Structure 1
Amino acid sequence: MSHAGAHATLCHAAIVTPQRVVRASLPIRAGQIDAYAVPSAYRLELRNHVVFPGLINAHDHLHINAVPPLHAKEAFSNSYAWIEAFQSHFNDPDVAAALRIPKPLRLRHGALKNLLAGTTCVAHHDPWHPAFEAEDFPVEVLRDYGWSYALGWPGYGPPVQESFAATPADWPWLIHLAEGTDKIARAELARLDQFGCLAGNSVLIHGVGLHERDIDRLIAQGAAVVWCPGSNHALLGHTLDPHRLCAAGRLALGTDSRLSGARDLLEELAGINGRYELDPSQLLALVTTDAARILRMPSRGNLLPGAPADLVIVQDHGGDPVSSLIGIERSQIRAVVRDGVPRIADNDFAEWFAAAGVETVPVVLDGKPKLLAADLADPALLEMEPGLEFEADLAHRKHEPAFAGRSV
């Protein structure tokens, strides 16, 4: 994403990462954080604001976020039982209609869902797709990775041992593992270890069935887990204890798709805030620095010179600036920035859009007026996202006369 007028300096904001809070200016040059301000840059006064790195969603399936979920009467013992139960759900007309939408549009919708909630980078646990290479794709997608789907579902994705062997040691290798509470799930780490597929680049998704000794083994190997508590509670009625993995820096947070998980990463953060005795800096690390390290993306999750200028800007309500992001809803974000330019923001950021050469469209997000970059304002895309609509459509509906029931 390239814009000629993208040089900017964000002035007097609280610049926040899990390790530190500084009140300073943040220079942006050519889409990256810079060490020095550009004299001719657009200056944006952000007193009483907090700037965070763009968030990292460490696990999503971008193409199925508009598929209606399967509503079960009771928890499943493992994900394989859920997958089996879902087969008949494909016959649901709403599911079939959602899956008829072209895949590139479904992928773009999953990306937009993430962007609206301040997520600018996503690990998509499925094959790479050419749609991700579009210059205006809403988020950055993890590109250098290996993956298998799961030990107990060999019909989809690359074979486990062959995929692991083919993945460079400096790339993450992703697999759903121990996604359940029964003996099948609890035995999976030992099976993976026997296959020779547990190493420092192994990234295990869910891990609900891990024993304490499994956690010991994971930490000793330098492997990591992506925690998706919303999805875990919805499908399994249980999730893992995050404390030891979090303390070791071996835990990241993911949403899974809306097929089973939370609406977005902000909702996931709000759901765990205060529930697991993790402080705000630990929660922020799960979606920034720790996630970046686990996914082998050293330039992500920070605001250091040379990092992509992917930012989340929120209002500072006083108190601990780190807490300003935890517990808010997506409509409360003031601006989401990718490569140094706003992509969706409150209306009073219009001048910044103009300075960056970005055309905008007025929209309403969960009842809040916003400006959306015009290249994201595809009507088919907005139609897929609940809570997001063109401002003109909302105004038209408000002024549309109600049907009074008279004969015509």
Structure 2
Amino acid sequence: MDVLQAAMDVSLCRAVSVTPAGRSRMPLPIRGGRIGASLAARAYRLDLHDHLLFPGLINAHEHLHVNTVPPLPARAPFPNSYAWIAAFRAHFEEPAVIAALRVPKALRLRHGALKNLLAGTTCVAHHDPWHPALDEPDFPVAVLRDYGWSYALGWPDYGPPAQSSFAATPVDRPWLIHLAEGTDAIAQAELARLDEMGCLAANSVLIHGVGLREHDVDRVIERGAAVVWCPTSNRNLLGRSLDPRRLCAAGRLALGSDSRLSGARDLLDEMRGIVARGELGAGPLLDLVTSQAARILRLPSGGSLAPGALADLVIVEDRGGDERCGLVGIERSRIRAVVRHGVPRIADPDFAEWFDVAGMDAVPVTLDGRPKLLARPLADPALVALEPGLELAAAHRAHDLAMEAGQS
């Protein structure tokens, strides 16, 4: 069976569905891997009283294949990302970096995707060349497709050239580029340079934008372009980040985690830091990682629980108070279930029956010390071993060892 297809219809009952558009206590039907418009007569019914349902999160900027690469040692902030890249060249000679990059790229890509899934992210914008592993039917998350990209204006030797890739990108598809990733004059000049090249338009998605000044933000909003904010990565590399408020209020901001090479552990950690610093509240943050990200990345069925949307969702316990805070600020181990196309991928053990009726084998694991069930296609020991805090349960490890011994 294709692991992305639900085996039967499901009705999630008595939970509160929470989206930026509002809240609903109506049952949530899942039909054929999508949110249904009505309940199926023979649906599997799951009682989720005292639970909240959220759309699967969208990570608007990631480099999936470098999450196991050790970061540079802490040092004074860099003036721009090009200085960081130059400093990192010597870091490639470090034994730990060499060892990390010896892991096959396909496995590193799957690990980056699994890292995202464990934190409730079901769709990722991967800002690097396409790789066949991203097309595998059991890849842990959906990956943004049919988009244009260039890496950065100051690093033209990696990825497509800016002008030609922008010209080749249809106007109804997003075009991504690292831009103004710095605090110096070089970074501050990049938006004007991009505009002079004819590459600033409504489908332009500018990654980082730390060097954008007030009039630059005006220009971004005026053109209908957007910025992806990666505050942890910005602070670690550059010593500061952008002020998100105007871009957020204009609907021109999404959130990304970059990767563990420079950024937060995952999108949940990124959001927790934003709330702790008082930069944005829970409501706007939920919008950044659901509906606003879907609009910016041109994902018509993403970031929503509306009929017809993909049944990608996150289930958490209702802890009372502001329902949006049920997800914003939570630790990944406290997520009750992460669902893709109507099928749980990782969930608490009491969801075992849902795995069964969906025809999905589940493997017992622990996540940050808490017991979970992980969909078998994601429970490859080589993959699990790459993720700190995720371990196959002892009984399952013993079973695998016994099977290997019997085959030898």
Does the alignment reach a TM-score above 0.5? Answer: yes
Consecutive unaligned residues of structure 2, counting only runs of 5 or more, are: 399-408
The C-alpha deviation readout for 1:354-408, integer Å capped at 9, x for no partner, is 1111101100000000000011000000110000001117998xxxxxxxxxxxx
**Which residue of 283, 286, 296 maps to 2:288?**
286
Distance 1:3 1:80 in 2: 43
Which stretches of structure 1, 4 residues or more, deviate above 6 A after TM superposition? 393-396
> Counterparts of 1:49-68 in structure 2 under 5 Å?
49-68=51-70
| Partner SS for 1:361 | strand
**Which residue of 341, 349, 352 maps to 1:350?**
352
**Corresponding residue for 2:329?**
327
**Corresponding residue for 1:251?**
253
Distance 1:89 1:4 in 2: 45
The residue type equivalent to 1:83 in the other structure is I
The structural deviation recorded for 1:269 is: 0.4
**Which residue of 367, 373, 376 maps to 2:375?**
373
Distance 2:4 2:212 in 1: 44
Distance 1:2 1:88 in 2: 42
The residue type equivalent to 1:156 in the other structure is Y
**Corresponding residue for 1:402?**
none
Does the C-alpha gap of structure 1 residues 355 and 393 become closer, same or farther in structure 2, counting only changes over 3 Å? closer
CA RMSD, 1 decimal: 1.2
Distance 1:5 1:45 in 2: 19
> Counterparts of 1:70-109 in structure 2 under 5 Å?
70-109=72-111
**Corresponding residue for 1:230?**
232
**Corresponding residue for 2:319?**
317
Is 1:138 matched with 2:140?
yes
| Partner SS for 1:88 | helix
The C-alpha deviation readout for 1:155-211, integer Å capped at 9, x for no partner, is 101011011111110110000000000111011101001111000000000000000
Aligned partners of 2:364 and 2:396 also within 8 Å: no
Does the C-alpha gap of structure 1 residues 169 and 12 become closer, same or farther in structure 2, counting only changes over 3 Å? same
TM-score norm. by structure 2 comes to: 0.95
Give aligned pairs, total.
Answer: 396
**Corresponding residue for 1:11?**
13
> Counterparts of 1:9-408 in structure 2 under 5 Å?
9-392=11-394
Distance 2:173 2:134 in 1: 18
The residue type equivalent to 2:68 in the other structure is A
The residue type equivalent to 1:95 in the other structure is V
Distance 2:33 2:6 in 1: 10
The structural deviation recorded for 1:322 is: 1.2
The C-alpha deviation readout for 1:33-55, integer Å capped at 9, x for no partner, is 00111111110000000000000
Distance 2:127 2:397 in 1: 39
| Partner SS for 1:352 | helix
Does the C-alpha gap of structure 1 residues 217 and 372 become closer, same or farther in structure 2, counting only changes over 3 Å? same
Distance 1:142 1:394 in 2: 34
The structural deviation recorded for 1:3 is: 3.9
**Corresponding residue for 1:403?**
none
The C-alpha deviation readout for 1:208-228, integer Å capped at 9, x for no partner, is 000000000000000000000
Aligned partners of 1:202 and 1:223 also within 8 Å: yes
TM-score norm. by structure 1 comes to: 0.95
Distance 1:278 1:256 in 2: 19
The residue type equivalent to 1:115 in the other structure is L
The structural deviation recorded for 1:2 is: 4.0
Aligned partners of 2:348 and 2:373 also within 8 Å: yes
Aligned partners of 1:60 and 1:122 also within 8 Å: yes
| Partner SS for 2:145 | coil
Distance 1:329 1:272 in 2: 14
The structural deviation recorded for 1:281 is: 1.5
| Partner SS for 2:302 | coil
Distance 2:8 2:373 in 1: 17
The structural deviation recorded for 1:229 is: 0.2
Q: Percent identity?
A: 69
Distance 1:135 1:112 in 2: 14
Consecutive unaligned residues of structure 1, counting only runs of 5 or more, are: 397-408
The structural deviation recorded for 1:5 is: 2.3
**Corresponding residue for 2:403?**
none
Distance 1:251 1:114 in 2: 20
Which 10-residue stretch deviates more, 269-278 or 318-327?
Answer: 269-278
Aligned partners of 2:6 and 2:341 also within 8 Å: no
Aligned partners of 2:6 and 2:342 also within 8 Å: no
Aligned partners of 2:6 and 2:343 also within 8 Å: no
Aligned partners of 2:5 and 2:341 also within 8 Å: no
